[in-house]
Structure 1
Amino acid sequence: MTTSVSSPATATFCDRDRHAFNASFHDLGLVWYWDIDTFEELQAPGRDAAAMVRAYLTTAQAHLLKAYDVEFLVDRIVARMKEIRASGAARAPHATAFERPASCRGVIGF
């Protein structure tokens, strides 16, 4: 069952969202990759997509904040992630016909 998520406090992300983030990083020329562990660590209670990117930037990519405004980067990454997610192109490059459709527990609420 897929449910809508109405607030960041209840946001549910899935592996397709992780792939959408990774695809957005690639499209924007960022050599970043969120593995499953990193993605799960960024999903603290109350964090929406922008808060996840902001947390990653300030902890793992802080050097970029000397040249770029954090909100500029967050906005670009999240906007591209939403485009990719909406297009349905957010699949793992190695996804197969055996991929479980239940891998997404809900719809992201942003």
Structure 2
Amino acid sequence: MHNENRSNRPLADRQELERNAYNAAFSELGLSWHWDEKTYSELQSIAEEEEDRLRTYVETQHRYLLTAYDARFLVNAIREAKMRCYDSALGQRSDH
């Protein structure tokens, strides 16, 4: 349902929504991470696939978590939370 709304939004707007959704997901998962515009942009240039970007971020910035969690588990948890947050934000924006 929301996929249609995503494609109709300007790229910058979609990216800002996505970045904010990541930050909300991090908070929801109890991670004290925050992606500013620069960090998000750098990660976008690393890889096309979301999973690869997240894995790279965890491996380079929070490697210590990999001693307790499998990288795939972390990436999937973040992706799922991000999608919930994104869809929620998208729904709130369409209500206005």
Within 2, Cα distance between the matches of 1:35 and 1:90?
A: 23
* 2:7 equivalent to 1:3: yes
State the shift of 1:61 in Å: 0.5
Within 1, Cα distance between the matches of 2:47 and 2:40?
A: 14
Count of residues in correspondence between the two structures: 82
Identity %: 34
Which of the two has greater helix per residue?
2
State the shift of 1:44 in Å: 2.1
More contact order relative to length (CA 8 Å, sep ≥ 6): 1
- Runs of 5+ unmatched residues, structure 1: 5-12, 92-110
SS of aligned partner of 2:45: coil
Within 2, Cα distance between the matches of 1:39 and 1:70?
A: 19
Within 2, Cα distance between the matches of 1:66 and 1:45?
A: 24
* 2:71 equivalent to 1:70: yes
State the shift of 1:45 in Å: 6.1
Q: Is the 8 A contact 1:19 1:90 kept in 2?
A: no
Q: Spell out, residue by residue over 1:14-45, the C-alpha distance to the aligned partner (whole angstroms, 9 max, x if none).
A: 11100000000000000000111110000026
- Runs of 5+ unmatched residues, structure 2: 1-5, 9-13
Deviating 4+ runs (over 4 angstroms):
none
TM-score (norm 2): 0.75
Amino acid paired to 1:24: A
Amino acid paired to 1:56: Y
Q: Is the 8 A contact 2:25 2:81 kept in 1?
A: yes
- RMSD of aligned alpha carbons: 2.3
